[in-house]
A and B are shown apart, each in its own frame.
Chain A
Amino acid sequence: MRITSVVVALLLLGLHMPVASAQDLADEVAELRVLLTSVQQDYEARISDLEIRLARAEQLASGAKREATEAFDIAEQTAIDQSAGTSAANTFNPALGAVLSGLYSNIDGFELGEAEINLKADVDDRFFGNLTFAVGEEDGEGEIELEEAWLQTTSLPGGVAVRGGRFFSGAGYLNEFHRHVDDFVDRPLPYQAFYDGQFKVDGVKASWVARTSMLFELGAEASTSGETLLANFGGDIGASNSWQVGMSWVKTDPEALIGDGELTLVDFVWKWAPNGNSGQRSFKLQGEHFSSEDSGWYLQGVWQFLPQWRVGLRHDTFEASDRDSVMLDWSPSEYSRLRLQYINDRVLAETDHQWFLQYIMSLGAHGAHQF
């Protein structure tokens, strides 16, 4: 509009030219100059204003674009993760792991340990399954032994869980652990005497965890071997200490376990690590007492003095026999372990000096860190 008025003004000026004096002309030119300058400034202001707005809009657009690209990348990667490296048929394969071990002793020379193979997976949204079998040789003949074959509920309300199949009984702290995570090459005397190493039952187990700040758990087992009632308590003391105490009452056929068929167990474990971080140093103290017609107990401590090195001391007795063991193990990673152990064995009349060198290696799926 301003341009049009300027042009019109110029035209009118042109039409009226002959009458104006020189001074009038100069005045008009000066006026025009001022007008032009202000128009120029006006348009420059508007253009720079537009440029700023354009820059802001570009910035917003590129920011939004970056976010959109990022979101797209994340969605793409999630899709890639879900299909990564596995064909559709194998996607739901159970977690598979194997443990290889071997033992050299001054009594029996080299003995290949059983290879333990474990499969575990969610069956569906209600059940979880676990299968462990041990493959070995006994007297030159191949042998496969079923260690665990159980299913457990995962979604029952009220802190209740039911397990069924073949499982390690909860009677005794050490009993629920696989042998390859033991701190010594062999099981304590009471375990060997009462359980022949490990008490496996075929049956059903129900357990309940109370809604308390300290762990309070009750359990009951009914199996082909008999019945068991158990209770566990546990908690933390500060950031560095954790403990658990358990009690169990086992009632079996007198033939199934030695003694009168009734067994009472008390177990405890105490773990210490600075600030609860077991990376460099830690200490574990555990003990169990078995009483039936006969009784036995053990007490052991394991001290981790370097990130990969641990030393352990154990005293175990059953009836009139007792032994002392000391062990040293080196774990270059979470999955491999070498152990040297000495047992001062006073089970028989003569003291026996036993030396062992053991390797335990774990392949495949990451094992659970049981307490």
Chain B
Amino acid sequence: MVHISFEDSRMRSLLLLITILSLPVSAHAIEVFACEPEWASLVGELAGEHANVTVATTAFQDPHRLQAKPSLIAAIRKADLVVCTGADLEIGWLPLLLRRGGNPEIFMAADFVRKLEVPKVISRSQGDIHPQGNPHVHLDPRNIRRVAVALAEQLAKMDTENAADYNARFSDFQDRWSDALATWDQRAMSLAGLEIASHHRSFSYLANWLGLDIVATIESKPGIPPSGAQLASLLEILSDKSPAVIIRTPYENEKPSLWLTDHLSVPAIELPYTILGNAAVTDLFTLFDETLRLLEEYRS
């Protein structure tokens, strides 16, 4: 056909217009699968609307016990980037999911921080220990800063189109974080040396930063609930050096902590541990604000 009718070209322009209007306004966003809420929050700070984040766990779930359930298989299927803690925290389920995923980039936060409590003896007789060290790395704001540096780099590398935006967001986050860290360090001075007992070794990094003295861990061998005999000997140890407060995460069993409370007359509290661990914790800044606020009530 040589001639094209006026109607046809108008139709074509209309169709083209409709097609353009129905395209998503922002360019393709990165699909991020975050294993824990703290990393989902960090991705949100650094990437904003450039990333769609799905979180695998909540503050009320023990990341160690999760199963590779159908909703997670479906979620990892579309992931471009997987952001997790590493140090074997997710070893029970993440490898299974990664084999079903579409070959996403993997970012492990624990690779960018110095790990505490690296075991000398690696055997299950010591409980369910992590050979690379304590994996609960996010409760030290200096670790968050280090992970943010590496994560911002990773995001910019994956999405070069928006690299300038990532850099801007990162600088902004760093400034706000440094200011917040300065105020937290001030508040931390009154908490240094505070004696606490903890259910599991979930707060080692927090204690290291604040200078808290963890006098006892109820679950002396990780993953193995304490026996009656172990609890009795724990009471003996603590009768000389009584903690000011007993802390646990939202997902840990409250019974051992409450038992200790009854026998020592020391209060037991639940710290938020991660985002939405309690209603006041909506981001990383409020995580540390709340944690410090709750601990400050017990300073001597």
Residues of A participating in the B interface, judged by any CB pair closer than 8 Å: 70, 73-74, 77-78, 81, 84-85, 128, 152, 154-155, 157-159, 161, 209-217, 232-236, 239, 242-244, 271, 275-280, 307-308, 332-335, 366-371
Chain B residues in 8 Å Cβ range of A369: 65-68, 92-93, 96
Expressed in whole angstroms, the minimum distance between the Cβ of A80 and any Cβ of chain B is: 9
Q: What CA separation (Å) do A243 and B70 show in the bound complex?
A: 8
A152, A211, A333, A371: which contacts B77 (Cβ < 8 A)? A211
Q: Does B177 make an interface contact (CB < 8 A)? A: no
A81, A84, A236, A332: which contacts B224 (Cβ < 8 A)? A332
Chain B residues in 8 Å Cβ range of A152: 99
Query: Is there an interface contact between B60 and A235, defined as CB atoms closer than 8 Å?
Result: no
Q: What CA separation (Å) do A176 and B115 show in the bound complex?
A: 37
Query: Is there an interface contact between B102 and A159, defined as CB atoms closer than 8 Å?
Result: yes
* Majority DSSP secondary structure for residues of B touching A: loop
Sample 12 A-B pairs with CB under 8 A, ordered by A number.
A77-B118, A154-B99, A157-B102, A209-B73, A235-B71, A239-B60, A277-B60, A279-B252, A307-B253, A366-B91, A367-B92, A371-B67
Chain B, interface size category, equals 35 or more
Expressed in whole angstroms, the minimum distance between the Cβ of B230 and any Cβ of chain A is: 13
Chain A residues in 8 Å Cβ range of B193: none
Chain B residues in 8 Å Cβ range of A210: 74, 77
Residues of B participating in the A interface, judged by any CB pair closer than 8 Å: 57-58, 60-62, 65-71, 73-75, 77-78, 88, 91-93, 95-96, 98-100, 102-103, 111-115, 118, 122, 124, 127-128, 131-132, 146, 223-225, 251-253
Q: Which residue of A lies closest to B78 (CB)?
A: A211
Q: Which of A234, A332, A335 has the most CB of B within 10 A?
A: A234
Q: Which residue of B lies closest to A216 (CB)?
A: B74
Q: What CA separation (Å) do A136 and B127 show in the bound complex?
A: 29
Query: Is there an interface contact between A242 and B77, defined as CB atoms closer than 8 Å?
Result: no
Q: What CA separation (Å) do A26 and B289 show in the bound complex?
A: 68
Expressed in whole angstroms, the minimum distance between the Cβ of B101 and any Cβ of chain A is: 8
Given A215-B73, A275-B61, A307-B253, A368-B114 contact (CB < 8 Å): no
Chain A residues in 8 Å Cβ range of B102: 157-159
Q: With A77-B114, A369-B67 given, can you name 13 additional A-B contacts, CB distance below 8 Å? A: A78-B111, A155-B103, A161-B100, A212-B74, A236-B71, A277-B61, A279-B65, A332-B224, A333-B223, A334-B128, A368-B93, A369-B92, A370-B67
Query: Is there an interface contact between A234 and B223, defined as CB atoms closer than 8 Å?
Result: no
Query: Is there an interface contact between A242 and B100, defined as CB atoms closer than 8 Å?
Result: no
